[in-house]
Chain A
Amino acid sequence: MREVPRELKVRSWKPLEEVRKLFREMFQRHLSRLMELKGRGKPVGWFWACSPTELAYVFDVVNVFPEQYSAYCASKGASDKLIDVAIEYHYGEFTCDYLKCSIGSILNSEIAPLGGHCGMKPDFVLDSRMACYSGHHAMSEVFANLYSNLKRFIIDAPFWTEDKIGKIEFPAKKPEKISKEDYDFVVTQLWDFMHFLEGLTGEKLDEERMKRVFEVAEKTSRNLIEIADLMISKPTPMSQMDYRGFPLIGFYITAADYALEFTQEVLEIIKKRVKRGEGVAEEEKLRLLSQGIIPWYSELYKYYEERGVVFPLNLYVEDTFCLIESSKPLESLVRRSMSLWNCDADTWIESVLRRAKRADLDGAILFENTGCRLFSYGLRRFKETLWEGLGIPSVIVEAPQCDPRGMPLERAITKINAFIESLL
Chain B
Amino acid sequence: MKVDVQAKDLIDYIEKEFGGEAAKTAKEVHERGGKVLGLVSWNIPEEVLYAAGVLPFRLFGKAQLIEKAHTYLPSWSCSFSRRCLEEALSGEYDWLDGLIASKLEDTCIALFYLLKHILKPKFSYLLQIPVLKSELSKEYFVKEVLNLKNRMEEFMGTAISDDDLRRAIKVYNENRRWLKMLYKARKREDFPLTGADVLKVVILSMTMPKEEHSKVVRKILEEISELRARRRQESNADKKVKVHVSGTEVTDLEILQIIEDCGAKIVSDDLNTGTTYFWNEVDEGRDPYDALAEHYLFKVPNLLMSKQLSRAVDERIEYIRSLVEEFEADGVVFLVDRGCEVMGFAYPHLRDGLRKLNIPSVRLDLDYPLPREHYVTRMRAFVEMVRERSA
Chain A residues at the B interface, C-beta cutoff of 8 Å: 89-95, 99, 129, 132-134, 137-139, 141-142, 144-145, 151-156, 158-159, 161, 181, 185, 188-189, 192, 344-345, 368, 370-371, 373-374, 376-378, 380-381, 398
List A contacts of B342 (CB < 8 A): 138
Find the residue from B76, B136, B346 having the highest chain A CB count within 10 A: B76
List A contacts of B74 (CB < 8 A): 368, 370, 376-377, 398
CA gap between A133 and B278 in the complex, in Å: 25
B114 & A378 in contact (Cβ 8 Å cutoff)? yes
Chain A nearest Cβ from B342, distance in angstroms: 7
Closest B residue to A151 using CB positions: B309
Say which one of B43-51, B126-134, B179-187 lies at the interface with A: B126-134
A133 & B313 in contact (Cβ 8 Å cutoff)? no
List B contacts of A155 (CB < 8 A): 132
Known contacts A152-B309, A154-B132, A377-B73; is-contact A161 B110 (Cβ 8 Å): no
Picked from A91, A145, A156, A377, the residue with its CB within 8 Å of the CB of B72 is: A377
List B contacts of A371 (CB < 8 A): 76
Find the residue from A138, A155, A370 having the highest chain B CB count within 10 A: A138
Say which one of B26-34, B190-198, B322-330, B347-355 lies at the interface with A: B347-355
CA gap between A355 and B101 in the complex, in Å: 31
Chain A nearest Cβ from B113, distance in angstroms: 6
Chain A nearest Cβ from B341, distance in angstroms: 5
Closest A residue to B304 using CB positions: A133
List A contacts of B287 (CB < 8 A): none
- Which residues from 115 to 144 on chain B have a C-beta closer than 8 Å to any C-beta of chain A? 117, 126, 128, 130-132, 136-137, 140, 143
Picked from B304, B336, B341, B349, the residue with its CB within 8 Å of the CB of A373 is: B341
A185 & B309 in contact (Cβ 8 Å cutoff)? no
Picked from A95, A132, A145, A158, the residue with its CB within 8 Å of the CB of B349 is: A145
Closest B residue to A161 using CB positions: B126
Chain B nearest Cβ from A393, distance in angstroms: 17
Chain B residues at the A interface, C-beta cutoff of 8 Å: 71-74, 76-77, 81, 103-107, 109-111, 113-114, 117, 126, 128, 130-132, 136-137, 140, 143, 304, 306, 308-313, 336, 338-349, 351, 363
Find the residue from B103, B106, B113, B349 having the highest chain A CB count within 10 A: B106
Known contacts A92-B338, A156-B131, A377-B72; is-contact A133 B104 (Cβ 8 Å): yes
B313 & A94 in contact (Cβ 8 Å cutoff)? no
> Can you spell out 28 A-B residue pairs with CB atoms less than 8 angstroms apart?
A91-B347, A91-B348, A92-B344, A95-B341, A133-B103, A133-B109, A134-B105, A134-B341, A141-B306, A141-B346, A142-B345, A145-B311, A152-B306, A152-B310, A155-B132, A156-B131, A181-B140, A344-B126, A371-B76, A373-B106, A373-B107, A373-B110, A373-B341, A374-B110, A376-B74, A377-B77, A377-B113, A378-B113
A185 & B136 in contact (Cβ 8 Å cutoff)? yes
Closest A residue to B103 using CB positions: A159
A144 & B109 in contact (Cβ 8 Å cutoff)? no
A141 & B313 in contact (Cβ 8 Å cutoff)? yes
Chain A nearest Cβ from B365, distance in angstroms: 10
Picked from A132, A134, A156, A377, the residue with its CB within 8 Å of the CB of B132 is: A156
B72 & A159 in contact (Cβ 8 Å cutoff)? no
Chain A nearest Cβ from B311, distance in angstroms: 5
